[in-house]
Structure 1
Amino acid sequence: MRTLIGWVLWLIASGSIAATAAPPPDGQHDFDWEIGTWTTSLKRLREPLSGKTEWVEYEGTSVVKPVMDGRANLVELDVRGSAGRIAGVSLRLYRPASGQWALHFANLANGLMTDPMYGTFQDGRGSFYGQDTVDGRVVLVRFLITPMGVDRWRFEQAYSADGGQRWETNWIAIDTRVKPAAQP
């Protein structure tokens, strides 16, 4: 059950209500830094919101391409580990009316696209919120993008089953830019 504060935060994050009357900043270039190829070290909580704490690890790549004149981008994730393979596509769309991005993820294992998460970058850090379904119940989901250096970024996903009062991190990916090969 969501608290009143949880609902208000969700409505602001989704763009359903405006946090201020000021026009939104132009954030359509917020993801430009990510265009390119990255090595990805990922760990995910095997059974989120179960009380269990077993993590599984993966290694692979993320390739980020601009589309629609940079107002959108496409991320191809392909990682493998002891628990198998995660291959998916993330479509990120800029929403100029709200100044927010909508993040969609499709896992190629099941062919389904998640409900979008909405948010923005502020002071170089991205915060995105939405809803997801875990074991048949609807939960809040938070996705944070944090710089760890010029060519290294942290992507962290967390779920909340109590309206945003407590968050359980279930996905941490560290991406490191692959440097282009030197030309002879």
Structure 2
Amino acid sequence: MTTVPKAFRALLCALALAAAAPAALAQASPPAAERSGARDFDFELGSWKCHLSRRLKPLTGSNTWVEYDGTSVLRPVWGGKANLGELELDGSTGHLEGLSLRVYNPQTRQWGISYANSAAGAVGLPMFGGFKEGRGEFYAADTLNDRAIFVRFVFSDITARSFQLEQAFSDDGGKTWEPNWIAKFTR
């Protein structure tokens, strides 16, 4: 039996991978005619009225919700490649202020959404995703009460005058989702 030196085998593997890479990249890349998604949040630009229902103790079995009303303003940044949203709400449990920064990545054709609220004073982990057939879905891993969870945002029912944003948590690896934030926006 003839043995091939390790260095020669490594070179052969590298050449085989290099030869296969263009074909793999062509399969992984979306067609040039496919829209980029960079304008997916244009529907939300401007000022909105917001009604928010928020579950007080998510993933505890509690079904106690509180209601808030207020405004949301979304403005483009970097010529539309990003946007900045400001949310201000009042309800029976107090005042909420939130800030979202959304940035489009043209290589992945996905948006990253980072959120901060004034009470915490910190920016949370970004969620990643995009829109398909008028529905936006965004996901992230996070923690709640020192437990690992998944977080999901869903933008739905999008029209020129309204849309809905639902946040849900999962503590079973995404098998089931519990909504904890349902916001309805109107003009």
Greater Cα shift, 20-29 or 157-166? 20-29
Corresponding residue to 1:21 among 20, 28, 41 = 28
Q: How does 1:99-110 map to 2 (within 5 A)?
A: 99-110=109-120
Unaligned runs of 5+ in 1: 1-17, 178-184
Which of the residues 155, 175, 178 maps onto 1:168?
178
Partner of 2:7: none
Q: Secondary structure of the equivalent of 2:119?
A: coil
Partner of 1:52: 62
Number of residues paired by the alignment? 159
Contact 2:86 2:99 in 1 (8 A): yes
1:138 aligned residue: 148
CA RMSD of aligned residues (A): 1.4
Give, in angstroms, the shift of residue 148 of structure 1: 4.7
Q: How many angstroms does 1:147 deviate by? A: 2.2
* Paired amino acid for 1:63: V
- 1:71/1:173 CA distance change after superposition, 3 Å: same
Partner of 1:149, secondary structure, is coil
CA contact (8 A) 1:80 1:86 kept: yes
1:92 corresponds to which of 95, 98, 102: 102
Structure 1 counterpart SS, 2:108: coil
Kindly provide the CA deviation profile for residues 59-94 of structure 1, in whole angstroms up to 9, marking residues without a partner as x.
000000000110000000000100111101000000
CA-CA distance at 1:44 after TM superposition: 0.6
Deviating above 6 A after TM superposition, structure 1's stretches of 4 or more consecutive aligned residues are none
State the alpha-carbon separation in 1 of the partners of residues 159 and 46 from structure 2: 16
Task: Using the TM superposition, give the Cα deviation of residue 114 of structure 1 relative to its aligned residue in structure 2, in angstroms.
Answer: 1.0
Are 1:73 and 2:83 matched, yes or no?
A: yes
| Structure 2 counterpart of 1:22, one-letter code | S
Give yes or no for the alignment of 1:32 onto 2:39.
no
Measured in 1, the distance between the counterparts of 2:141 and 2:68 equals 25
Bigger drift between 93-102 and 142-151 goes to 142-151
The structural deviation recorded for 1:25 is 4.2
CA distance in 2, matches of 1:167, 1:96: 29
Q: Is the 8 A contact 1:90 1:103 kept in 2?
A: yes
Instruction: Verify the 8 A CA contact 1:39 1:62 in the aligned structure 2.
Output: yes
Residue type of the alignment partner of 1:21: A
Please give the TM-score of this superposition, normalised by the length of structure 2.
0.82
Distance, in Å, in 2 between the alignment partners of 1:40 and 1:55 is: 16
More RCO (CA 8 Å, sep 6+): 1
The structure with the largest helix share of the pair is 2
Give the TM-score taking structure 1 as reference length: 0.83
> Contact 1:25 / 1:99 at 8 angstroms: preserved in 2?
no
